[in-house]
Amino acid sequence: MIAPLLAASRLLYEGLARPLIFAMRPAQAAHEDVLAALRLADGLPALPVLLGGIRAATQPPRPVAVGGVLLESPLILAAGFVKGDGFADEAAALAAVESGRNIMPGWRSIPALCGLVEFGSFTRWPRLGNSGAVIWRHATSRSTQNRIGLKNPGAAAAAAFLGARRAHLPACFGINVAVSPGVSDPIQEQREAVEALAAFRAAGLQPAWWTLNLSCPNTEDDPGAHQTTARTRDLCAAALGALEGQPAPLWVKVGPDLAPEQYRALMRVFAEVGIGAVIATNTLGQPAPGQPGQTAGVGGGRLHRAALDAAALLLAERRALGCAVDVIGCGGIVDGASYRRFAALGVRAAQYWSALVYRGPLAAAVIQSEARL
Ligand SMILES: Cc1cc2nc3c(=O)[nH]c(=O)nc-3n(C[C@H](O)[C@H](O)[C@H](O)COP(=O)(O)O)c2cc1C
């Protein structure tokens, strides 16, 4: 039953919808179309049940314990898809939540259809993100590129929004909090991460895992600066302090272009402070198409090699240390073969984003089936 359903989904999306979308809509317009549709879909009471039925029929449970969490399947939709609108300030974001507006398109329909989702990234304060062209596709390499610039409603409004909808959130999901770009003072950086996590806890949210994103490549920051040993140790310790007394583990997300020694040193820090898992990796900063001097993060096929190399280095250090920090693969997982390349390294769970564009909304089910998981 599953195989014919997935074949039908591939025919509909890859054979029909994707060629039409790619021919008619540039990446950014297509992304905005999807968000507009999700904004409406979240409000249709019967839809989550229907979408949940489609998922149940196409993605059988494959439980796996990773990073201190029992996941129902090894594939997680990565941060950056369900993250909410951008706002200029917290008062405006909170007023939008208060007005009942859906400021986080997909919050209900995407988990129903895709299964595991990491919400965010959320920063302590709202961000409008970058203006102009910010998302591109490279179809031949099945890649995406973006310089959205951490657009999000900010932790307080995101927490208020999700907290008011707790009863309709999935049983298992993650919340991703990013260090605030542009903050150079480590103490302020720690305070902002702590306050962001505290906002979600105060709203009564109980994710299955938290992720600290150390690595956004398309903001005003040099993400490498957030990933130094001392700064990472202090930041992770502060975040773990903010999470004390609750059961969910803290994961971290690193970039794909650190020096080998830096991955090894970071893994030692993660083991020392008690991180559950490290997501390898975020996007790879490259020149933005047609925008001289701007950087935009590459995901999908063009990221795959670098993400595999980062995961391999982290896993080698994990073995050398004999520590329990898991590595979650992320980067160019668009089919069974790319998933299996991570699995061959010892990865037991993975995140994907670009696969949504190239394989469609049932990407997790399709990849799981192709990888024979
Ligand atoms: C449009 C877009 C927005 C993203 N925003 C975030 C984000 O806010 N936080 C984050 O940790 N990663 C973000 N990412 C990175 C993805 O979570 C993922 O790490 C990256 O795309 C690599 O996975 P992929 O090769 O499957 O695309 C974003 C990616 C894209 C394409």
Q: What's the pLDDT tens digit per position in 298-333?
A: 999 999 999 999 999 999 999 999 999 999 999 999
List beta partners, residue 299: 144
pLDDT band at 224 (very low <50, low <70, confident <90, very high): low
Q: 159 with 125: CB under 8 angstroms?
A: no
Distance 286 CA to ligand 1 centre (A): 14
Distance 313 CA to ligand 1 centre (A): 21
Tell the CATH topology of 2-370. Answer: TIM Barrel (3.20.20)
- Give the tens place of pLDDT for each residue, 7-51: 999 999 999 999 999 999 999 999 999 999 999 999 998 999 999
pTM: 0.96
Give the residue whose CA is nearest to atom 4 of ligand 1: 80
Helix, strand, coil percentages (3-state) for the chain, rounded to 5, are 45, 15, 35
pLDDT at 223: 55
pLDDT at 288: 94
Distance 4 CA to ligand 1 centre (A): 30
Work out which ligand 1 atom sits closest to the CA atom of 215. 11
Q: Average pLDDT of 285-289?
A: 94
Distance 46 CA to ligand 1 centre (A): 29
For residue 221, pLDDT over 60 is answered with no
pLDDT band at 94 (very low <50, low <70, confident <90, very high): very high
Label the pairing between strands 295-300 and 143-146: antiparallel
Work out which ligand 1 atom sits closest to the CA atom of 146. 1
Distance 282 CA to ligand 1 centre (A): 6
CA-to-CA distance for 67 and 57, rounded, in angstroms? Answer: 27
For residue 190, pLDDT over 60 is answered with yes
Work out which ligand 1 atom sits closest to the CA atom of 145. 31
For CA atoms 126, 128, 130, 133, the dihedral sign is positive
Can you tell me whether residue 254 is helix, strand or coil?
strand
- Give the tens place of pLDDT for each residue, 359-372: 999 999 999 999 99
Quote the mean pLDDT of the chain. 95
Encode burial over 193-204: b for 16+ CB neighbours within 10 A, e otherwise: bbbbbbbbbebe
For residue 128, pLDDT over 80 is answered with yes
- Give the tens place of pLDDT for each residue, 53-68: 999 999 999 999 999 9
List beta partners, residue 363: none
Give the residue whose CA is nearest to atom 18 of ligand 1: 282
Give the residue whose CA is nearest to atom 1 of ligand 1: 146
pLDDT at 228: 78
Catalogue the E-assigned strands of the chain.
64-66, 69-71, 75-77, 118-122, 135-138, 143-146, 174-178, 209-213, 250-254, 277-280, 284-287, 295-300, 326-330, 350-352
Give the residue whose CA is nearest to atom 7 of ligand 1: 80
pLDDT band at 74 (very low <50, low <70, confident <90, very high): very high
Ranges of each domain in the chain? 2-370
Q: Average pLDDT of 170-191?
A: 92
Distance 1 CA to ligand 1 centre (A): 32
The pick from 282, 328, 335 for probing ligand 1's pocket by mutation, whose C-beta has the most ligand atoms within 8 angstroms, reads 282
Ligand 1 binding site (Cβ under 6 Å of any ligand atom): 78-80, 83, 121, 135, 144, 146, 148, 150, 176, 213, 253, 282-283, 299-300, 303, 330-333, 352-355
Mean pLDDT lowest among 62-76, 168-182, 306-320: 168-182
pLDDT band at 180 (very low <50, low <70, confident <90, very high): confident
Distance 350 CA to ligand 1 centre (A): 13
Distance 197 CA to ligand 1 centre (A): 20
For residue 227, pLDDT over 80 is answered with no
The pick from 283, 339, 352, 366 for probing ligand 1's pocket by mutation, whose C-beta has the most ligand atoms within 8 angstroms, reads 283
Place of tokens 């668009």: 334
CA-to-CA distance for 373 and 363, rounded, in angstroms? Answer: 14
pLDDT at 216: 62
Distance 307 CA to ligand 1 centre (A): 13
> Helices 363-370 and 47-58: crossing angle, nearest 10°?
10
Q: Average pLDDT of 86-109?
A: 98
Give the residue whose CA is nearest to atom 30 of ligand 1: 80
Share of the chain above pLDDT 90, in %: 91
Distance 31 CA to ligand 1 centre (A): 13
Phi-psi region of 346 (alpha: psi -120 to 50; beta: other; left: phi over 0): left
> Helices 301-321 and 260-273: crossing angle, nearest 10°?
60
The pick from 226, 353, 367 for probing ligand 1's pocket by mutation, whose C-beta has the most ligand atoms within 8 angstroms, reads 353
Distance 303 CA to ligand 1 centre (A): 11
